[in-house]
Structure 1
């Protein structure tokens, strides 16, 4: 006993000794390795939470909590992660741990309140909010959340406290329109017209920047207040708020007082227990050395020089122009169309992969014309200028320079040619080696520089031009290759560049005028207008538009961007300091800098220049602080089956984060350089590709030097899931036949074929749980869904039979009736064009697919191919069905636009031919039978009376659509009257926010399918369509019948649909199900019409989607018909704010 106690005591002493040595129990130093790792893990977790890596985010935050158990921010964040997964037991445990450590911390209390609120515990939520308000009375969001929760609990009993808190909020933020309209609403609700009138008049002081319809609504409400018309006030005031919701300023005011509607809780972004990290940007290297050295070129003199990347797997190298030639190397020289006796503009030559073979070609423009040289596989060049199809006038024109960009965002690079005199010309890439001449930019001439960047935050890059007279003009991108009238931002500029200098996630134009003053031109998202701020008063450098060149790059690798201004006489550099402010580098440097380029591949950017006597040189960059850097290449996924983005992602954006260091840069060349300061690695990378898709990579998860674009569908309609009692299964997608604004070519959009939809749910995937059938419909892609109806039909049919619906996309729409047949049996044989036997693969439904085709460059379009299906000899007397199940990889609006511009034919539907007996000729049964309507769909072909003979029956299916077949069967027809269809009564129809499923693909021929049980993210995954969506909660009234009143779903939303079971089927019968729905889908593709917004709204009977750039909510006919739905249901206004600022954390 004594010995046992001694051992126990010894063990206790050891445990105490170990725990007393933990870092959390002594003063933590910022230099400690475990602290630095915790900082990295903490901020990596925050970044990962904004991507589809929710598990990685949880693990990284858990590492912080385990390493430093006293860090309550980590425990609180773990609670949020658990809540986002729907695991409230774990959320309560983790928030409890955080509360034990910091029981009166405002963020911990606020998160505890949010968790209780989502659990339905309003009293608990209010109690936590009261404590949070006491801990931080200045916190606007806590006070506003308290107001909302108290109103939900009991608006009458809590009225005095609601009023008190609203008035306090107004005192704190007196110009906030949200608070003012809430005070007006409170006054109307309580019939206190003095209160309502007082704050309504205050709102009136801010109406000058409202649109005319909202101003008219304001006057209408004003009249009702004057008349003391209480009965009409509440409704009209709600309409006023609806009008205000679309105003950027109102949305900004809303974010002051509440979390974005796409957020499930929020994450604490700073340590509570541990000391705060001190360094974001490292100190500038003011002792950096820039030594002038010769540049290794095959020639001694050059009028132009640049570092170029021609091959994706080779390092960049310098290329020069001299004596009328582009000198690539000792052996390769290309004619330059112009005078080369004097210094050429930086834009005289460009690298451009115009033909999508992942080799950069060379295009040049001079005073004697334009030339395009194709880089061949043997690294020789071919002049293909005439083959492009452009006119001799354009080929032989006089040009200042040229630039590559994707004008219409269709996945291939176009060329802007700047005439020496006159307006700029665009050569639009047709995708087949030819170009079309276009002049989309009116009102600007004699262009000397061109930039392409998203300045307004809507994803579509703006065109920015500098004219010879110093005018800076920007053209807002209206999508689809259309641009607004030009807006003049400056009139005496000598040089321009684009950058996110202050790392706020928004690109700005930086101009320097002829007196050397630097100005930042920023699009103010709050007021939707341009603002200009001086960065540097005067640089003591007199410059002109002809010789000045402005570059923005991180020369010293400290993590802040630097300004490099060069003219013929001298070069001046300002290094970004710890606050990202420009600090003059006190060095006399030669002028003539024409390019920024890492000459020796040591991750330090050197400066290429040409002296006045045309001698090329470089300023070798050698630092004294040895900061780290990372160069990253972007690349499309491949040269086959894609072409949604250009080869190297030109026009996209990259964001990196290491700890607290955040940076954002344009992808304007195949290699993007980031300085990292004292960080060893870019811990996280986020790429927004030119087509709008988003991808995140992490160093810890194997981020490579080249980032390949993931091929995921941006749009594919809502997804249907069913519950079998043990697991929730993905079934298929719905509403495939009613796309809104889907572009089919440069002039036309697809019409709405059919809003009504029926899809089969196999019986084994849906079983009643406590007498209830449970369905889920999720919105997970870059789309808005409009559900007018959602129902479930139970189909009882005899054992030994099966039912199907013809799930095709075709015009005219197919018959969606339920079809009864004997249990399908495999066909006798299936072969492809090459005689390969595919029978075994398609003889059962097991999610293994055939791929009987070769891909083209485009997603959704494959080479013309056929499969031949040989039927067995057991032909029934009653007729027969051919049943094919599989999935389709579709094109999208941008791909369709690209295809329409050239000679490449768009995908064709399935051509059905039959052959029988001894005939050698195929008879056409259907010229265009359509395609499967999405994922895991079945199409039916009626073979009754299809053959001339009962022997040797064969069917040939030919198409250029990208279809993968899982199963091909034949089945005897049966009398449809043997089935019993029971329309089930809904008992719950509720909209909620869920987030995004984990997506997985078994192999290259399988679709990416969602796993419902794994929530990959709850963050705003897409640049959502802006506008009103349906609030969460009961939506049964909207789904009850097909009447033009609908649920509007945003990405991340989920419809929960419960139906009452009618009991077991009769003896000898089995049961399958049909999901019935009606509605529309609009995706966010940049070339889908009106794709940035929910408006205009669809309506029943609409053959073509009617869109207008000038439309707003008040004049939309659907709103006018059902306006009260925007009071009772469609009150959740979505913007892409969080998407834009995902890695900024504190915004």
Structure 2
């Protein structure tokens, strides 16, 4: 945590700066300070300007920061940030004037001087720019970002003349201020190796290993080799091994976090985020004063007469089980399970029937209820776990529930007292993790709300300290929890909650914290593809042996999930702050709760915002010492401070078995439902709705998607209202958001559980957000200059999907794409003597573009040319150009319903064939076919079929889900012909399919017809849409043509943004309009070193592992010199073929190493990702390429912090 003033909540540096400014004003050394209203206006303009910068709207940014400078002319931020915007607009003169004013106001401010150095460098004086950075470092010695920029500029300017000792001195200085910075240590160690300083290098690598505990296997392999070479004084081997080790480390989270802290010196300086001279409380993070509110016992109006006195309950849950939008109450007890519906104005006893109850009900049954849509059909089901085997009940939609499955732990009888459900493996459905505090069991969803035990394949610990599976030690033989009985001994306190889930390391995937009775608590990091690793030692902080209960929430509104942990009555509780996804830190939070936890043996913890002030509070329930309440209410004051508010509660018993939170009366504030002595009790929140509030409900697509579970459990909702930011994880059908004194929110950003972001501007107080139906990964878009504008042609390199999973769960092929696509002559025209194309990555992909080549194909005007643009598994074929002189339409065409589709297939237009029922997953509908009658072709020697269409791709996460199912399989297209005996015969088992949009599939039908019946049937359950079908008969083997190959003349890499996406027809593909642009980043970035912006021409001229690395929102502008290209002969016409080679990696959460650019692919690799014995070639030329080109570090932080730091913007 950064140091803050305990009173104001401002950073200490900002507090000191403000005091200095105030003293200056009082001494008469400047104009009078702006009023509070003026500062508020300037704050709003700052937020808008930062949002414009983030969206790459530079004119808007310059205007907003000009407003800041006008409102508070003595504040450097407005002047400096305006200068930065003008620099990006290449208005160097105005930028220089603006930054000079900022320097006058803050002559030693490192961030201001860094912006000035950028402007000076842009005007051509790089030596002066370097001098400015040296001056800045002299006044800001501890600023490692500034020092690293200074070192990078020295290397860039001095080149080989820079002495290694000088670089070493700078790195050593950085380590003095950040001794645990792994990225700095890696660079320093590599220099020590090159200087033959063996002993220092060896000590440095051992120090580095200490920062990596536990050391991953592949890193350990090359670390050992490096140390061995150093011990043997083998300089060449040590340098080679150290280089490979450094490349491997780029993927490691500890390295990436360290590298993030150094910034990206290859780019222009970041803006100033914090005012230097504003009042300390202008952007205070403290909560507002508590509104007039209290929790009132509402038992008479909610429970009177609804439950008999004989009924005793062991757990309760709130969920809308009847789909009317109101929370119902589910109860579990020794008599079974029941649901009471909620008509809002009071509870109505409606005991919903549950099947399978005869063997469930027993005198010793103790249950925990976990609601969730386990079969993903849009209604709430229920999981019951406890001293009977866990059961899953499906909501039948008619007021009844059916027993769907009794979960089998795979080791004989084993009972669980706690379970969590979320889409743990991010494949679009809910999974279950169960605990008895001695063992874990992972139940993976397979199909239709049915689960299979899969713990051994996940990395979760199956048992702790030798305790085998069986009845949990926490539950005694009579079914009463070891947590203790109530006063009369009849009611069990359910065990504490030992599981918490969330994206703790901020990499987009669900991690898990699990508490165990022996105190050996663990944090499991999600490695994707259904695997986790014990990350406890790396993340730290959770080894508090006294912890029995854990809950996760963002308590300080910084976008990272913190952990609340509670122990026994004697142990108390503590809060562990999440340090930006790097580790937990609880050292300064021990006294934060005062006596709120004293004497309480907590069994349930519920984070919630009871006063709607925008800060997460806590309700703690359990056993208290006699005379003390069993329910504690803790208010979050902001700034890391909390206070107990017992005065807001009625008098309660000392034993509260459970507490649940929800807006029962639908009035905008959260009520409480308690379980005390086996009886439910409602505490109505009166007055919490005096503050603003928001209810957000997510709804995933139920058909043709399969990307998210229906309620979006596991998604993240971010809310920005003015300067106030919150981040909440979705754990129920409706997420309640407090807005404090603000009546409305400016913007909501949802990060769905599959990683796809979605924004909603000016949301209503009750907001339904439906999952967007959009592509998230597909390949870069090709745009060409048609003489008037740039037009979308198709997607490129769709054959490659390294790291992805296939529908069988096997990894995708690692081969480079080697892709050829046709560009029609009317799509590409000469511009200033050159052909110009733009290749833009606009989806969630990383592109490794190794080669581009334009083939100019001149041919007689009466013919046309095509290339086979289908996907088939490798080896991918070389180029073959097919010529067509006489295309013929089928005489008839039918779909699988028998409908006439010939008119839809007559031309390559916006009419597509696609009348079939979608399935559970995108890309996998029902089986469907097209049947084409080619007419009488007796005597034909060669028959070639051409089909044009597109495919809706199956995403890697859906492939993971498909690999876990038995009720659906992917059937690639196969082709059948009549066998002459009334049946169909398969003649091509796998025809391939269009590899993207507007792609042509060539199928050779020669000699495939056993009878004089020239019909063909193409069948699949891939989501294929066909636009055109024609065939040729006896075309010449080789028509006359002339092919000229052009290499790139120029190629420039830069940021562009995102073109507008739309569909031309109901069954048409997603295409883009290049003229309509959004500059705002849309996807979580791949982290790592990308190719620096600028000239990349040499990287695209050969397939040689020297490629352009770029990703979402970035574009390569490529020109091909046509000055010497002869015109087509008279009567001829011209078309083109674009050849690209390279790889593509999707950002899908179940793509291997999807979070990072590394490991780098290379030609000839056998797998991706590859193991420690395989590596990107370690050659001098390739090392030089990486050092010269791949210098742009891209972090995920800017995207994660977009709403929090950049404000709402407009």
TM-score w.r.t. length of structure 2: 0.79
The answer for the alignment partner of 1:897 in structure 2 is: 960
**Which of residues 1175, 1182, 1188 is equivalent to 1:1116?**
1175
The answer for the alignment partner of 1:15 in structure 2 is: none
The answer for the alignment partner of 1:11 in structure 2 is: none
Alignment deviations for residues 111-145 of structure 1 (CA, whole Å, 9 cap, x no partner):
46546757877579669868977998876545654
Work out whether residues 249 and 526 of structure 1, in 8 Å CA contact, stay in contact via their aligned partners in 2.
no
The answer for the alignment partner of 2:352 in structure 1 is: 333
TM-fit CA distance, 1:434: 3.2
Confirm whether residue 566 of structure 1 aligns to residue 621 of structure 2: yes
Larger displacement relative to structure 2 (97-106 or 983-992): 97-106
**Which of residues 255, 266, 270 is equivalent to 1:266?**
270
**Which of residues 1118, 1129, 1133 is equivalent to 1:1057?**
1118
Confirm whether residue 299 of structure 1 aligns to residue 307 of structure 2: yes
Q: Provide the secondary structure at the position in 1 that maps to 2:1021.
A: strand
Work out whether residues 99 and 115 of structure 2, in 8 Å CA contact, stay in contact via their aligned partners in 1.
no
Confirm whether residue 455 of structure 1 aligns to residue 504 of structure 2: yes
Work out whether residues 913 and 1067 of structure 2, in 8 Å CA contact, stay in contact via their aligned partners in 1.
yes
The answer for the alignment partner of 2:484 in structure 1 is: none
The answer for the alignment partner of 1:491 in structure 2 is: 545
- 1:329-408 equivalent positions in 2, closer than 5 A: 329=341, 330-335=349-354, 348-377=368-397, 379-385=398-404, 388=405, 398-408=415-425
Distance 1:698 1:130, change over 3 A: farther
Work out whether residues 54 and 1015 of structure 1, in 8 Å CA contact, stay in contact via their aligned partners in 2.
no
TM-fit CA distance, 1:912: 2.6
Name the CA distance, whole Å, in 2 between partners of 1:902 and 1:985.
47
The answer for the alignment partner of 1:17 in structure 2 is: none
TM-fit CA distance, 1:719: 2.8
Name the CA distance, whole Å, in 1 between partners of 2:934 and 2:101.
71
Q: Provide the secondary structure at the position in 2 that maps to 1:577.
A: strand
Name the CA distance, whole Å, in 2 between partners of 1:302 and 1:1117.
65
Work out whether residues 830 and 837 of structure 1, in 8 Å CA contact, stay in contact via their aligned partners in 2.
yes
Alignment deviations for residues 893-937 of structure 1 (CA, whole Å, 9 cap, x no partner):
221221222233333222333469x99655544232121112221
Work out whether residues 248 and 525 of structure 1, in 8 Å CA contact, stay in contact via their aligned partners in 2.
no
Name the CA distance, whole Å, in 2 between partners of 1:83 and 1:601.
52
Work out whether residues 950 and 999 of structure 2, in 8 Å CA contact, stay in contact via their aligned partners in 1.
yes
Work out whether residues 994 and 1018 of structure 1, in 8 Å CA contact, stay in contact via their aligned partners in 2.
no
Confirm whether residue 865 of structure 1 aligns to residue 928 of structure 2: yes
Confirm whether residue 555 of structure 1 aligns to residue 610 of structure 2: yes
Larger displacement relative to structure 2 (668-677 or 868-877): 868-877
Work out whether residues 474 and 489 of structure 1, in 8 Å CA contact, stay in contact via their aligned partners in 2.
no
Q: Provide the secondary structure at the position in 2 that maps to 1:493.
A: coil
TM-fit CA distance, 1:761: 1.5
Confirm whether residue 632 of structure 1 aligns to residue 636 of structure 2: no
Work out whether residues 260 and 1138 of structure 1, in 8 Å CA contact, stay in contact via their aligned partners in 2.
no
- 1:673-688 equivalent positions in 2, closer than 5 A: 673-688=736-751
Confirm whether residue 317 of structure 1 aligns to residue 317 of structure 2: no
Work out whether residues 117 and 125 of structure 1, in 8 Å CA contact, stay in contact via their aligned partners in 2.
yes
The answer for the alignment partner of 2:1135 in structure 1 is: 1072
Name the CA distance, whole Å, in 1 between partners of 2:721 and 2:411.
48
Name the CA distance, whole Å, in 1 between partners of 2:781 and 2:122.
24
Work out whether residues 1085 and 1112 of structure 2, in 8 Å CA contact, stay in contact via their aligned partners in 1.
no
Distance 1:714 1:912, change over 3 A: same
Name the CA distance, whole Å, in 2 between partners of 1:979 and 1:536.
82
TM-fit CA distance, 1:296: 2.0
The answer for the alignment partner of 2:211 in structure 1 is: 209
Confirm whether residue 779 of structure 1 aligns to residue 799 of structure 2: no
Work out whether residues 58 and 78 of structure 1, in 8 Å CA contact, stay in contact via their aligned partners in 2.
no
TM-fit CA distance, 1:642: 0.2
TM-fit CA distance, 1:800: 2.3
The answer for the alignment partner of 2:734 in structure 1 is: 671
The answer for the alignment partner of 2:47 in structure 1 is: 43
- Give ranges in structure 2 of 5+ residues lacking alignment: 1-30, 213-218, 342-348, 475-494, 537-541
TM-fit CA distance, 1:548: 2.1
Name the CA distance, whole Å, in 1 between partners of 2:1115 and 2:432.
43
TM-fit CA distance, 1:180: 7.8
TM-fit CA distance, 1:103: 6.6
Confirm whether residue 707 of structure 1 aligns to residue 802 of structure 2: no
Work out whether residues 880 and 944 of structure 1, in 8 Å CA contact, stay in contact via their aligned partners in 2.
yes
Q: Provide the secondary structure at the position in 2 that maps to 1:705.
A: strand
**Which of residues 967, 990, 995 is equivalent to 2:1028?**
967
The answer for the alignment partner of 1:809 in structure 2 is: 871
Confirm whether residue 474 of structure 1 aligns to residue 523 of structure 2: yes
**Which of residues 791, 794, 817 is equivalent to 1:729?**
791
TM-fit CA distance, 1:575: 0.9
Confirm whether residue 539 of structure 1 aligns to residue 591 of structure 2: no
Name the CA distance, whole Å, in 2 between partners of 1:681 and 1:430.
41
Distance 1:201 1:1018, change over 3 A: farther
TM-fit CA distance, 1:160: 14
Distance 1:216 1:344, change over 3 A: closer
Q: Provide the secondary structure at the position in 2 that maps to 1:43.
A: helix
Name the CA distance, whole Å, in 1 between partners of 2:718 and 2:692.
17
Name the CA distance, whole Å, in 2 between partners of 1:260 and 1:703.
43
Distance 1:135 1:767, change over 3 A: farther
Work out whether residues 933 and 1015 of structure 2, in 8 Å CA contact, stay in contact via their aligned partners in 1.
yes
Name the CA distance, whole Å, in 2 between partners of 1:353 and 1:685.
24
Distance 1:284 1:181, change over 3 A: same
TM-fit CA distance, 1:651: 1.4
- 1:5-20 equivalent positions in 2, closer than 5 A: none
Alignment deviations for residues 814-852 of structure 1 (CA, whole Å, 9 cap, x no partner):
674111112756555544333444444443333443322
Work out whether residues 389 and 434 of structure 1, in 8 Å CA contact, stay in contact via their aligned partners in 2.
no
The answer for the alignment partner of 1:20 in structure 2 is: none
The answer for the alignment partner of 2:972 in structure 1 is: 909
Confirm whether residue 853 of structure 1 aligns to residue 916 of structure 2: yes
The answer for the alignment partner of 2:565 in structure 1 is: 511
The answer for the alignment partner of 1:415 in structure 2 is: 432
**Which of residues 400, 411, 432 is equivalent to 2:448?**
432
Confirm whether residue 739 of structure 1 aligns to residue 801 of structure 2: yes
**Which of residues 744, 755, 759 is equivalent to 1:692?**
755
Work out whether residues 431 and 444 of structure 2, in 8 Å CA contact, stay in contact via their aligned partners in 1.
yes
- 1:932-947 equivalent positions in 2, closer than 5 A: 932-945=994-1007
Distance 1:66 1:1044, change over 3 A: closer
The answer for the alignment partner of 1:653 in structure 2 is: 716
Distance 1:208 1:88, change over 3 A: same
Confirm whether residue 584 of structure 1 aligns to residue 640 of structure 2: no
Confirm whether residue 796 of structure 1 aligns to residue 820 of structure 2: no
Distance 1:1001 1:137, change over 3 A: farther
Alignment deviations for residues 724-753 of structure 1 (CA, whole Å, 9 cap, x no partner):
344222222222223223222465223347
TM-fit CA distance, 1:524: 5.7
Name the CA distance, whole Å, in 1 between partners of 2:427 and 2:750.
18
CA RMSD of aligned residues (A): 4.6
Name the CA distance, whole Å, in 2 between partners of 1:30 and 1:38.
10
Distance 1:1105 1:27, change over 3 A: closer
- 1:865-884 equivalent positions in 2, closer than 5 A: 865-871=928-934, 879-884=942-947
Name the CA distance, whole Å, in 2 between partners of 1:624 and 1:947.
76
Distance 1:1067 1:1093, change over 3 A: same
Q: Provide the secondary structure at the position in 2 that maps to 1:648.
A: coil
Name the CA distance, whole Å, in 1 between partners of 2:963 and 2:142.
57
TM-score w.r.t. length of structure 1: 0.83
TM-fit CA distance, 1:1027: 4.4
Work out whether residues 317 and 370 of structure 2, in 8 Å CA contact, stay in contact via their aligned partners in 1.
no
Work out whether residues 45 and 58 of structure 1, in 8 Å CA contact, stay in contact via their aligned partners in 2.
no
Alignment deviations for residues 75-103 of structure 1 (CA, whole Å, 9 cap, x no partner):
8767767877xx546x9767866767887
Q: Provide the secondary structure at the position in 1 that maps to 2:826.
A: helix
The answer for the alignment partner of 2:1196 in structure 1 is: 1136
Distance 1:1055 1:840, change over 3 A: same
